[in-house]
């Protein structure tokens, strides 16, 4: 079946790449991440100088005065202010950096979730394809056997009981085939929804390409899980946010120091001016001003509210630190479980391969024994049923092992597009 589509067969790596471009939830997450990253620059801006320009034009009329003319005045002022010591602005910068880093980690989490979902759908299609092929082969064999038994019944070589047994097994095999076809269609629709690709273009995974996990030592896997696991990273960045909130709360008890400088000019004119230049700019009263200095603000008492906020921020920071420990412990537990699934899964696949070969030999032996009169039709039907079950179990164990390989890569922070290339040997 796959050979029909070999000219444009897609690998797991290509399927995930397509899903990254097709999935609307991921696109939304990327835009949300871009928005959250602006928090970093908003925090940086608080540490930079603030520059402002002000200007005004005023007209003063004196309608009740007999000898006093109206006055027109103009002014402008340029002011620069630079924070020197302000822990609230430093805390805002730290929190912005932590929010941006958290957004990156959360986007990575969404990408990993989509990757595993696509891989699960990909493997499910391949598994159901193999199950359907095995079910069809069994169905065809039982149909041929039923036809021979019916022919033998008309010639007195077989009994009605044997025909009825064969009919019952053939009907069960037909039902299994229908169920396998339905399961394959459902798996294909799940794959299509995630990637936008046709499921019949999926390329079979080359088993010899996916024998080893990305991390070949349990101790190294545990170390990487504690450092690179996305849940652990998110917990760390959230702790950094809590630490910045603590700094911000404590900053309310500290002085704020800033330097400033301003330069401005003022001028005014009365209505009796006759020169055009004077009419526009005025020359009767002109003055310039230059100011510079340092502002110091020291908080003394604000009713105890700021102190309570400091206590609150301290408790939240401590809670966030415990969250890191919890995430690390969970990552260790999940990594150990995934490691056992890989080791036991590889052994199970080899055992299932031997079981398939044994079941296949048993079918031949029972068939030969039936021809010699040592075995019955029921024995032959039972052997064929066991052979189908062994093929189905082998398919399930193979793709469960492949899923375990992806799982250990995800837990250790190694799951990416490049890593998926090991399933294709291209």
DSSP tag of 49 = -
Q: Which two tokens stand for residue 134?
A: 């095995």
Q: How buried is residue 66: exposed, middle or buried, by Cβ count under 10 Å (0-12/13-18/19+)?
A: exposed
Per-residue pLDDT for the chain (426 aa), expressed as one digit of tens each? 333 334 468 888 999 999 999 998 899 999 999 999 999 999 999 999 999 999 988 877 766 655 556 677 888 899 999 999 999 999 999 999 999 999 999 999 999 999 999 999 999 999 999 888 888 888 888 888 778 778 877 777 777 887 887 788 888 888 988 998 999 999 999 999 999 999 988 888 777 766 677 888 899 999 999 999 999 999 999 999 999 999 999 888 899 999 999 999 887 776 655 445 555 555 556 788 889 899 999 988 777 788 888 898 999 999 999 999 999 999 999 999 999 998 898 889 889 889 989 988 888 888 788 777 667 777 777 888 888 888 888 888 988 998 999 999 999 999 988 888 888 765
Give the pLDDT score at 66.
57
Following DSSP, what letter does each residue of 185-229 receive, concatenated? HHHHHHHHHHHSS-GGGBPPP-GGG--S-S---HHHHHHHHHHH-
φ/ψ of residue 324, rounded to 5: -65, -45
Give the pLDDT score at 161.
80
d(CA 217, CA 220): 5
Please list the helix, strand and coil fractions of the chain in percent, rounded to the nearest 5, in that order: 70, 15, 15
Q: Which two tokens stand for residue 260?
A: 């400033």
Q: Which two tokens stand for residue 5?
A: 């589509």
Residues whose CB is less than 8 angstroms from the CB of residue 312 and which lie 6 or more positions away in sequence, other chains included: 249
Residue showing tokens 């189908």: 388
Of 422, 424, 420, residue with least CA distance to 20:
420
Give the pLDDT score at 85.
92
State the fold for domain 2-48+86-254+304-423: Outer membrane efflux proteins (OEP) (1.20.1600)
DSSP tag of 425 = -
For the chain, give every domain's residue range. Answer: 2-48+86-254+304-423, 51-85+255-298
Residues whose CB is less than 8 angstroms from the CB of residue 214 and which lie 6 or more positions away in sequence, other chains included: 405, 408, 409, 412, 414, 419
Whole-structure pTM over 0.85, yes or no? no
φ/ψ of residue 78, rounded to 5: -110, 125
Give the pLDDT score at 79.
93
Instruction: Provide the β-strand partners of residue 286.
Output: 267
Instruction: Provide the β-strand partners of residue 145.
Output: none
Q: Give pLDDT tens digits for 231-261.
A: 999 999 999 999 999 999 988 889 999 999 9
DSSP tag of 424 = T
Give the pLDDT score at 271.
60
Question: For residues 50 and 258, is the Cβ–Cβ distance under 8 A?
Answer: no
Tell me the CA distances in angstroms from 342 to 215, 334, 349, 406, one per residue in order. 11, 12, 10, 10
d(CA 313, CA 248): 9
Tell me the CA distances in angstroms from 239 to 95, 191, 270, one per residue in order. 10, 37, 65
Give the pLDDT score at 418.
87
Residue showing tokens 């202010």: 81
d(CA 37, CA 29): 12
């Amino acid at each position: 079946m796959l050979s029909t589509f070999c000219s444009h067969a897609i690998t797991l790596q290509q399927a995930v790449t397509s899903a990254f471009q097709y999935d609307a939830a991921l696109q939304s997450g990327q835009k949300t991440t871009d928005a959250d990253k602006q928090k970093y620059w908003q925090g940086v801006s608080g540490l930079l100088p603030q520059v402002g320009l002000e200007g005004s034009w005023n007209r003063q009329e004196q309608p009740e005065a007999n000898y006093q003319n109206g006055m027109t005045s103009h002014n402008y002022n340029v002011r620069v202010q630079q924070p020197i010591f302000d822990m609230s602005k430093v805390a805002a910068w730290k929190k912005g950096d932590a929010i941006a880093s958290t957004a990156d980690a959360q986007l990575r989490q969404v990408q990993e979730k989509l990757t595993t979902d696509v891989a699960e759908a990909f493997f499910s299609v391949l598994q159901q394809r193999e199950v359907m092929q095995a079910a069809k082969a069994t169905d065809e064999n039982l149909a041929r056997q039923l036809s021979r038994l019916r022919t033998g019944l008309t010639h007195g070589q077989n009994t009605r009981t044997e025909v009825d047994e064969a009919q019952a097994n053939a009907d069960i095999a037909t039902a299994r085939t229908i169920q396998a076809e339905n399961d394959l269609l459902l798996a294909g629709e799940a794959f299509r929804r995630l990637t936008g690709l046709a499921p019949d273009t999926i390329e079979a995974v080359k088993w010899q390409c996916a024998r080893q996990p990305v991390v070949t030592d349990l101790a190294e896997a545990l170390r990487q899980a504690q450092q690179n696991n996305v849940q652990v990273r998110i917990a760390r960045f959230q702790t950094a946010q809590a630490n910045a909130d603590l700094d911000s709360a404590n900053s309310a008890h500290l002085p704020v120091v800033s330097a400033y400088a301003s330069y401005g000019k003022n001028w005014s004119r009365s209505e009796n001016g006759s020169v055009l230049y004077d009419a526009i700019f005025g020359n009767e009263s002109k003055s310039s001003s230059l100011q510079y200095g340092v502002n110091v603000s020291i908080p003394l008492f604000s009713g105890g509210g700021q102190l309570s906020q400091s206590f609150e921020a301290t408790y939240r920071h401590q809670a966030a630190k415990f969250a890191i420990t919890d995430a690390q412990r969970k990552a260790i537990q999940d990594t150990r479980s995934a490691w056992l699934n890989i080791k036991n899964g590889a052994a199970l696949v080899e055992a299932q391969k031997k079981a398939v070969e044994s079941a296949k030999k048993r079918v031949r032996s029972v068939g030969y024994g039936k021809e010699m009169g040592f075995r019955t039709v029921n024995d032959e039907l039972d052997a064929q049923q066991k052979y189908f079950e062994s093929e189905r179990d082998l398919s399930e164990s193979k793709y469960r092992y492949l899923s375990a390989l992806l799982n250990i890569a995800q837990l250790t922070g190694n799951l990416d597009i490049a890593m998926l290339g090991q399933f294709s040997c291209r």
